[in-house]
Amino acid sequence: MPANKKLLILPGDGIGPEVMAQTRRVIEWMARRRMVSFDISEDLVGGAAIDARGTPITDETMQAAKDTDAILFGSVGGPKWDKLGFDMRPEIAILRLRKELDLFANLRPATVLDPLVDASTLKPEVVRGLDLMIVRESTGGVYFGTPRGVETLPDGQQRGFDTESYTTSEIERVARVGFELARKRGKRVTSVEKANVMQSGLFWRQTVTALHARDYADVQLSHMYADNCAMQLVRNPRQFDVIVTSNIFGDLLSDLASMLTGSLGMLPSATLGAVQPNGKRHALYEPIHGSAPDIAGKGVANPLAQMLSFAMLLRYSFDMEEDARLIETAATAVLAKGLRTADLASPGATPVGTVAMGDALLAELDRVAG
Ligand code: NAD
């Protein structure tokens, strides 16, 4: 079986290498049991790259990232590197990857697996079965818009300002990602902005409406103000299928949505670039948690978010829906058996470690694959 799927693995710092080691076992299982092999390369990134090479990500690693089909990223950062100047911080690695690969669509699923329904701070009847996807524009908007700065006014006061701005193509390309995703899910998109008080919000709404009429009439489109969306996510989150929104609103709403599910150690994400002329698109997959320096090296980190990020990679970069589902089903089955890492364990329960969770996941993979 030729290994024609190129995969770049960047474990990073802290718990990154620990959870990635367990995910490597899942990748090996895929090769053994599903005859899916990858052409894998692995490299240093973040603090590990600073220590070894004096930079958070080398140009060679950047080139490998541009040449690969998909990137599986761990997490970067930690107190050891906190005092370095801004340009030398481990987080520069991820910023550089996002910028140079133009990864403009950040996908954050918020899924409540049945065995974890009690981990949410919301009532089980509100979150049971929750399965929504937030698509956040991630390279534009007010975090990047110009002019920005702090100026001194004639009366001696100072004024700080940023600019929210979106072009037609910036809105259309991220909305397209949302519509395409919805076609494979519940066929519903909610576009979120503040069209009532922001010109750029009104423009966002008009642009999404026109694109919908032109190319995606088979998908149901609704519009919602961002403040209402925040309220609705807590009141009745199951009303949503796919939410598409700007950088700043997506930043807030996706963090809010992640907490509906109860644990940081469970949540994967994807960031996608544009489809290139050769039909491929840059894509980076990573858990939403960081390097968790407080538990690094202790063997207690939950590896499931990293494994579920690999499941997303199979689904979105290689169209391997069945294999992605195998991993997700196995993760649910492990949790249904009562196995919990420390982040999920209820008080008084005995948690399992990272490797034991990996063992259990592989055993369930064997079982569900038959
Ligand atoms: P964090 O996500 O690393 O940790 C927050 C809390 O959640 C900690 O108590 C941690 O122990 C726990 N936690 C996180 N993941 C877990 C897992 N898989 N299993 C069990 N428990 C888990 O966030 P933080 O503490 O704010 O940041 C730590 C470092 O990570 C910082 O240097 C930050 O800059 C970096 N960071 C990196 C990324 C990234 O690489 N994309 C994202 C977020 C934070």
Let me know if residue 268 belongs to a domain.
Answer: no
Lowest mean pLDDT among 6-10, 101-105, 142-146: 142-146
Average pLDDT over residues 353-362: 98
Q: Which pLDDT tens digit goes with each residue over 278-302?
A: 888 999 999 999 999 999 999 999 9
Instruction: Find how far residue 1's CA is from the centre of its chain.
Output: 30
Does position 68 have pLDDT exceeding 70, yes or no? Answer: yes
Same domain, 236 and 290: no
Let me know if residue 113 belongs to a domain.
Answer: yes
Same domain, 59 and 121: no
Which structural domain range is residue 186 located in? 108-263
Q: Which pLDDT tens digit goes with each residue over 179-237?
A: 999 999 999 999 999 999 999 999 999 999 999 999 999 999 999 999 999 999 999 99
In CATH, what number is assigned to the domain containing residue 75? Answer: 3.40.718.10
Pairing of strands 38-42, 268-275: unpaired
Let me know if residue 26 belongs to a domain.
Answer: yes
| Residue matched to tokens 């642009």 | 207
- Identify the pLDDT of residue 1: 44
Separation CA 130–CA 148 (nearest Å): 39
Our answer to whether residue 227 is catalytic in this structure is yes
* pLDDT band at residue 85 under the 50/70/90 scheme: confident
- Identify the pLDDT of residue 187: 98
Let me know if residue 13 belongs to a domain.
Answer: yes
Same domain, 258 and 295: no
Our answer to whether residue 43 is catalytic in this structure is no
- In ligand 1, which atom is closest to the CA atom of 81? 32
Spatial strand order of the sheet with 105-111 comes to 38-42, 5-12, 70-75, 281-287, 268-275, 105-111, 131-137, 242-245, 188-193, 220-225
Indicate whether residue 74 lines ligand 1 (CB < 6 A).
Answer: no
**Rounded to whole angstroms, what are the CA distances from 258 to 111, 133, 267, 288, 289?**
8, 10, 7, 9, 11
Same domain, 124 and 219: yes
Let me know if residue 143 belongs to a domain.
Answer: yes
**Rounded to whole angstroms, what are the CA distances from 251 to 143, 175, 245, 248, 357?**
11, 16, 9, 5, 30
Out of 102, 162, 251, 359, the active site residue is: 251
For the chain, what is the domain count? Answer: 2
SS3 319: coil
| Closest to 144 (Cα-Cα) out of 71, 299, 251 | 251
| Closest to 339 (Cα-Cα) out of 328, 354, 326, 324 | 354
Same domain, 54 and 119: no
Separation CA 271–CA 254 (nearest Å): 13
Indicate whether residue 301 lines ligand 1 (CB < 6 A).
Answer: yes
**Rounded to whole angstroms, what are the CA distances from 301 to 45, 249, 293, 297, 344?**
20, 30, 10, 9, 10
CA of 77 to the centre of ligand 1 (A): 9
Out of 255, 294, 319, 366, the active site residue is: 255
Query: How many other C-beta atoms lie within 10 A of the C-beta of residue 313?
Result: 27
Average pLDDT over residues 318-331: 96
Same domain, 208 and 65: no
Q: Take residue 237 and report the two structure tokens written for it.
A: 């989150």
Residues composing the chain? 370
Same domain, 17 and 59: yes
Indicate whether residue 290 lines ligand 1 (CB < 6 A).
Answer: yes
Same domain, 172 and 316: no
Same domain, 150 and 234: yes
Domain boundary among 235, 263, 291: 263
Tell me the percentage of the chain whose pLDDT exceeds 70: 99
* pLDDT band at residue 257 under the 50/70/90 scheme: very high
Indicate whether residue 305 lines ligand 1 (CB < 6 A).
Answer: yes
User: Strands, DSSP E only, in the chain?
Assistant: 5-12, 38-42, 70-75, 105-111, 131-137, 149-152, 158-161, 188-193, 220-225, 242-245, 268-275, 281-287
Domain boundary among 263, 288, 315: 263
Helices H / strands E in the chain, number of each? 12, 12
Lowest mean pLDDT among 67-81, 97-111, 189-203, 342-356: 342-356
Same domain, 174 and 92: no
Average pLDDT over residues 274-280: 84
**Rounded to whole angstroms, what are the CA distances from 127 to 108, 109, 224, 263?**
16, 14, 20, 13
Let me know if residue 363 belongs to a domain.
Answer: yes
CB 246 within 8 A of CB 166: yes
Indicate whether residue 292 lines ligand 1 (CB < 6 A).
Answer: yes
- Identify the pLDDT of residue 2: 45
Average pLDDT over residues 45-50: 98
Pairing of strands 242-245, 188-193: parallel
CA of 153 to the centre of ligand 1 (A): 40
3-state helix, strand, coil in the chain (%, to 5): 45, 20, 35
What is the residue with the minimal CA distance to atom 26 of ligand 1? 290
Same domain, 146 and 211: yes
- Identify the pLDDT of residue 3: 55
- Identify the pLDDT of residue 151: 97
Domain boundary among 263, 297, 324: 263
Let me know if residue 117 belongs to a domain.
Answer: yes
Query: How many other C-beta atoms lie within 10 A of the C-beta of residue 236?
Result: 10
For a ligand 1 pocket test, name from 264, 284, 286 the mutation site with the most ligand atoms within 8 angstroms of its C-beta: 264
Does position 131 have pLDDT exceeding 80, yes or no? Answer: yes
339 — phi, psi (to 5°)? -70, 135
Q: Which pLDDT tens digit goes with each residue over 241-252?
A: 999 999 999 999
Let me know if residue 139 belongs to a domain.
Answer: yes
pTM, full prediction: 0.93
Same domain, 113 and 249: yes
